[in-house]
């Protein structure tokens, strides 16, 4: 359940829910809730993270149903560079992937993107990415070519390639 807050920032309203944005300067109670959701997402994605590891300031986007359930989650951070994925010769995406050695300019790193299992392929993740692109940098929408994904899963790579309309999307290391 996601109770919400009185002063939450709703950045997208849809027939099946809304997208709420939480920035690093928001109240501690909001950031604590985002951390709680991130930990649940990490468990589902199989991410084991050193709690003492320094993470840069994160911006969060949560897709919440009108029944107050979290259907999607995205966390992003400012970055300077990413690396182009080298597409597999056969066109299939395997469990491993290679990327180019030369970095290219990137402005936004997506460290987590997750959708509840029964809501996958229903544009929840795409709408989170849309809201991120519009709201990440005030007054300056992010170009698709300047977004990078951190160590995406197989489904994450499929999403990144489809959303960016490019099988040579960017990845980055946190």
Q: Each residue of 35-85: pLDDT tens digit?
A: 999 999 988 888 777 554 446 789 999 999 999 999 999 999 999 999 998
Tell me how many degrees the CA angle 124-59-157 measures, rounded to the nearest 5.
45
Cα torsion through 116, 155, 159, 97, rounded to 10? 150
All structural domains of the chain with their residue ranges: 9-172
pTM here?
Answer: 0.90
Share of the chain above pLDDT 70, in %: 91
pLDDT at 54: 47
Tell me the CATH number for domain 9-172: 3.40.630.30
With CA atoms as reference, report the closest residue to 84 among 157, 143, 149, 171: 171
Element (H, E) at 127: helix 124-135
Residue partners of 87: CB distance under 8 A and separation at least 6 = 167, 168
Quick one: average pLDDT of 120-133? 95
How far apart are the C-alpha atoms of 12 and 79, rounded to whole Å?
A: 24
């Amino acid at each position: 359940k996601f109770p919400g807050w009185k002063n939450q920032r709703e950045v997208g309203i849809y027939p099946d829910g809304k997208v709420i944005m939480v920035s690093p300067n928001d109240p501690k109670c909001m950031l604590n809730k985002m951390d709680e959701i991130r930990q649940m997402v990490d468990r589902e994605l199989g991410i084991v993270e050193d709690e003492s590891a320094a993470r840069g300031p994160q911006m969060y986007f949560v897709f919440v149903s009108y029944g107050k359930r979290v259907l999607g989650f995205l966390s992003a951070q400012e970055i300077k560079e990413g690396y182009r994925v080298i597409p597999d010769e056969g066109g299939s995406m395997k469990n491993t992937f290679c990327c180019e050695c030369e970095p290219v300019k990137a402005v936004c790193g997506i460290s987590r993107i997750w959708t509840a299992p029964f809501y996958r392929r229903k544009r929840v993740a795409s709408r989170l990415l849309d809201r991120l692109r519009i709201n990440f940098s005030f007054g300056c929408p992010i170009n698709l070519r300047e977004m990078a994904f951190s160590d995406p899963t197989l489904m994450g790579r499929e999403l990144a390639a489809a959303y960016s309309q490019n099988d040579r999307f960017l990845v980055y290391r946190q």
